[in-house]
Amino acid sequence: MFIDFEGIDGSGKTTLSNLLAGRLKKLGYRVAHAREGGELQSPTARRVRELTRDARLLEMSPRAEFFLNLARDAQQLEEVVAPALGRGEVCITDRYLYSQLALSGGGRGLPMDELRPAVELASQGLWPDLVILVDVDPDLARWRKRLGKSQGARATDGDSRKGLAGAGLAVRVRQAFLKLAQEDPRRWIILENNDVPLRVLEQRLVDAVVARLEGRDTPVQRITPMGTGMPPGPICVEDVERRFLDALGAVEAREPALAAWMLSGLPGLAAHQRRLGLVELYPALVARGLAGLEDEAAWTLRDVLAPVVPAQVILGLGNIGGPRAAMMRERLYAQASAEVLVGLRGDDTPQAWTLRERGVKDGKLAETLAGLGGVDSDEAWLLREAGMQRGLHAAVARSLGGLASPRADALREVLLPHDRLAVLRSTTGLDTPVARGLREALEDKARKLVLRSLTGLVTEDAWALRERGAPLTKEALDSVDGLDHPRAWRLRVAYASRWPATALSSLRGLSLIPEARALLTRVLEAHPTRLPVLRNAYGVIATARALASNPPSARASRATGETTVPQVER
pLDDT at res. 156: 46
Whether 101 is covered by a domain: the verdict is yes
Amino acid at 77: L
Task: Provide the pLDDT for residue 566.
Answer: 40
Greater confidence, 164 or 217?
164
Q: 516 lies in a domain?
A: no
The stretch 443-454 carries a mean pLDDT of 97
Neighbours of 443 (CB within 10 A): 14
Does residue 374 belong to any structural domain of this protein? no
Which whole number is the average pLDDT over 304-312?
A: 97
> Residue 48 sits in a domain of what CATH number?
3.40.50.300
CA dihedral (179, 95, 108, 69) in degrees, to 10, reads -140
Section 149-163 average pLDDT: 69
pLDDT tens per residue, range 240-278: 999 999 999 999 999 999 999 999 999 999 999 999 999
**Which of 181, 176, 274 has its CA nearest to residue 538?**
274
Torsion angle defined by CA atoms of residues 513, 516, 517 and 521, in that order, rounded to the nearest 10 degrees: 170
Task: Work out the number of other CB atoms within 10 angstroms of the CB of residue 215.
Answer: 6
Query: What is the predicted pLDDT for the residue at 550?
Result: 72
* pLDDT for residue 155 is more than 70: no
* Ordered DSSP codes for 314-356: HHTTTTB-SHHHHHHHHHHTTT-HHHHHHTTTT--SHHHHHHH
The answer, yes or no, to whether residue 411 has pLDDT greater than 70, is yes
How many CA atoms are closer than 13 Å to the CA of 527, on its beta-carbon side? 23
Please report whether residue 182 resides in a domain.
yes
Give the type of residue at 170: A
Confidence of residue 568 (pLDDT cuts 50, 70, 90): very low
Domain that holds residue 39: 2-223
**110 within some domain:** yes
- CA distance linking residue 451 with residue 468, whole number of Å: 10
pLDDT in tens, 514-564: 999 999 999 999 999 899 999 999 999 999 988 887 765 444 556 555 444
What are the CA-CA distances from residue 381 to residues 111, 317, 364, 388, 409 (Å)? 50, 25, 16, 11, 13
Average predicted confidence (pLDDT) for the chain: 92
Instruction: Tell me what pLDDT residue 83 has.
Output: 97
Confidence of residue 569 (pLDDT cuts 50, 70, 90): very low
Q: Stretch 415-426: mean pLDDT, rounded?
A: 96
pLDDT in tens, 64-104: 999 999 999 999 999 999 999 999 999 999 999 999 999 99
Residue 43 maps to a domain: yes
Give the integer Cα–Cα distance in Å for 359 and 201. Answer: 49
Q: Does any domain span residue 62?
A: yes
In this structure, are residues 256 and 281 in contact, taking their beta carbons and an 8 Å threshold?
yes
Quote the CA–CA distance of 400 and 428 in Å, as a whole number: 10
Number of domains observed in the structure of the chain: 1
Residue 261: helix, strand or coil by DSSP?
helix
- Residue 233: pLDDT band with limits 50, 70, 90: low
Each residue of 347-405: pLDDT tens digit? 999 999 999 999 999 999 999 999 999 999 999 999 999 999 999 999 999 999 999 99
**149 band by pLDDT with thresholds 50, 70 and 90:** confident
DSSP state of 216: P
Spatial neighbors of 78 by CB under 8 A, at least 6 apart, are none
pLDDT value for 547: 86
Return phi, psi of residue 181, to 5°: -65, -40
Asked, for residue 80, whether it belongs to a domain, the answer is yes
